[in-house]
Amino acid sequence: MSERLTEGDPAPDFTLSDADGKPVSLADYRGRKVIVYFYPAASTPGCTKQACDFRDNLAELGDAGLDVVGISPDKPAKLARFRDAEGLTFPLLSDPERETLQAWGAFGEKKMYGKTVTGVIRSTFLVDEEGKIEKAMYNVRATGHVAKLRKDLAV
């Protein structure tokens, strides 16, 4: 079980491939706030709902100075299909080795349908301009999460 991050912790750096195979680093966002969210699998019902909620709220989040990045264990080709099918306009990053997921505490044991399984823990983080965790949310729900996030951040 990876250790969970809390507010004030430095956000673990990463450089991962996006849906087109281009490298994207957390350092690319220094000087801006960024929402980093981890989801189990592209094109599944819950993950699609969550990604589309971020897409539909991207303008308001952007106006508030917030960028959005989604990370899953999916390979870039699957992320590209997901992005194109759903019209997603924010980066989707591939972490097939799950190193970034583990560094952020977003991979480990979780309950699913009453059973304990090991997998991606749906999680969302707000990283400040200096690269520190401003907000850490684990075991978030796919539906309604973006609305709750906007409310919590007063966006």
The set of catalytic residues is: 47
Q: How, if at all, do strands 23-25 and 15-18 pair?
A: antiparallel
Q: Which residues 6+ apart lie within 8 Å of 49 measured at CB? A: 142, 143
Give the phi and the psi of residue 31 in degrees, each rounded to 5. Answer: 95, -10
| Token digits of residue 114 | 């009453």
Q: How far apart are the first and last CA of the chain?
A: 33
State the Cα angle at 19 between 17 and 21, rounded to 5°.
45
Q: Which residue from 65, 61, 64 is spatially nearest to 89, judged by alpha carbons?
A: 61
